[in-house]
Amino acid sequence: MAANEESSNNNNSQSNNNVSLFYNDPYYISSSDNTVSKIVPINLNGNNFLSWKRNVRRALMAKNKLGFLDGSIKKPDVTDKDISRWMRSDYLVTCWLMNSMDADIADNFTYVDNSEQLWSEVCERFGQTNGPQIYQLKKELDNLRQENMSIVVYFGKMKKCWNELQNLRNFPTCSCGILVKCSCNFMKKLNDFDAEEKLMQFLLGLNSSFENVISNILATDPLPSINRAYYIVQQNEKQKEISGFNHVNHEINALAVQRSQNYVKKDWKKDKYEHKCDFYKGKGHTKDQCFKIIGYPDWYNPKKNNKVGGKVAANVTAVTDCEYEDTPLEFMSAGPGESYAGNSGAAMDSGMVSTIM
């Protein structure tokens, strides 16, 4: 029993060692590696070389094939037994790179011989550090304002500009070793100065609604880091969103209560008989609405208006000719939904109103 367990452990150990050897072998190609796949999700388009380059290097390092780009994995002699394995791996890396470029860019590198040559030409063509790129990034930073952007989007754009500037302008390093013996923390002071510059750029681009937060940050001694300031401003933004939402709901509810309290249904019929025609002394309308003065509309039928539902109305209070005939205009102006016994209960439409007025 013990012998079987020992044999099983040995087999597992040997299997793990074989897997480790496979992954440590730069010529190893797994079943998921194929020539039509991309090494990075975002293609090189000519304007994103810096970020594209970093992502490509990371991906190839994870697959243990970065040495094909920098030449550290040398091509074996034609008589070497590993020459075919090297060529397969190198062609695979070349395909990955080509698939990770826009089609019009990849066409320019169709006839390269190997991945090292391809990488060298791409870096030479798109990776030149020059004044126009630095100028464009500095201009973008100077003009960057939050405006309608959220804090997350605004800070993300600013952070991207900082990173690209850092890659374009590599900070000089000490090669003589003097800074190693420095006791005045010169490098720390330099880094603090750069961090303060970035903090001020971030605060200057914020909207005026964050003035109180900016004042609190600037009053802190020592000044917080850029990441801490970003956290403080973002929390304040979330607070404003929550309080603003509650304030809007409160205003809507208050307005609804006020309207319900102030709403009183108008008695249009009572108001109708308070009107009086100064010309014919009729009731139910005013002088400027009297049909006998302004004329009768085409749709008005005094005979029809003397009936209710097709029958002669009984027990109806007698009114003068002027008072009765002019009634439809006044009922129409009283508002929708009101009915009149002399008009078969129907209200006049907007076309009739336009004709009369």
Q: Could you list the residue range(s) of the whole structural domain that residue 119 is in?
A: 2-126
Main-chain dihedrals φ then ψ at residue 159, nearest 5 degrees: -65, -40
The tokens for 205 are 């681009």
Q: Is residue 248 part of a domain?
A: no
Which residue from 117, 82, 71, 83 is spatially nearest to 97, judged by alpha carbons? 117
**d(C-alpha 221, C-alpha 146), whole Å:** 26
| % of the chain exceeding 70 in pLDDT | 64
Q: Letter for the amino acid at 138? A: K
Q: Is residue 141 part of a domain?
A: yes
Q: Is residue 100 part of a domain?
A: yes
The tokens for 90 are 């190198």
Q: Do 112 and 18 share a structural domain? A: yes
Q: Are 203 and 213 in contact (CB under 8 A)?
A: no
Q: Is residue 298 part of a domain?
A: yes
Pairing of strands 307-308, 311-312: antiparallel
pLDDT in tens, 206-237: 999 899 999 999 999 899 999 999 999 999 99
Q: How many domains does the chain have?
A: 3
**H or E segment and range at residue 307:** strand 307-308
Three-class secondary structure of residue 230 per DSSP: helix
pLDDT in tens, 21-71: 566 888 888 888 888 888 898 999 888 888 899 899 999 998 999 999 988
One DSSP character per residue, 311-348 reads EE--SPPP--HHHHHTHHHHHHHH-TT---GGGTTPPP
pLDDT in tens, 58-105: 999 989 999 999 888 888 898 889 899 999 999 999 999 999 999 999
Average pLDDT, integer, range 239-250? 67
What pLDDT is stored for residue 179 in this prediction? Answer: 72
What pLDDT is stored for residue 21 in this prediction? Answer: 56
Longest Cα–Cα distance of the chain, Å, equals: 127
Under the banding of pLDDT at 50, 70 and 90, the label for residue 143 is very high
Average pLDDT, integer, range 153-176? 83
Of the candidate ranges 52-61, 241-250, 303-312, the one whose mean pLDDT is the lowest: 303-312
- Residues paired with residue 44 on neighbouring β-strands, in sequence order: 101
What pLDDT is stored for residue 95 in this prediction? Answer: 93
Under the banding of pLDDT at 50, 70 and 90, the label for residue 318 is very low
Q: Do 336 and 230 share a structural domain? A: no
The conformation of residue 92, written as its DSSP 8-state character, comes to H
Q: Letter for the amino acid at 239? A: Q
Q: Do 8 and 21 share a structural domain? A: yes
Q: Do 238 and 297 share a structural domain? A: no
Q: Is residue 262 part of a domain?
A: no
pLDDT in tens, 322-352: 444 445 444 444 444 444 444 444 444 444 4
Question: What is each CA distance from 340 to 51, 265, 270, 290, 299, in whole angstroms?
Answer: 79, 18, 13, 18, 16
Q: Could you write out the three-class secondary structure of 105-164? A: HHHHHCCCCCHHHHHHHHHHHHCCCCHHHHHHHHHHHHHCCCCCCCHHHHHHHHHHHHHH
Q: Do 281 and 195 share a structural domain? A: no
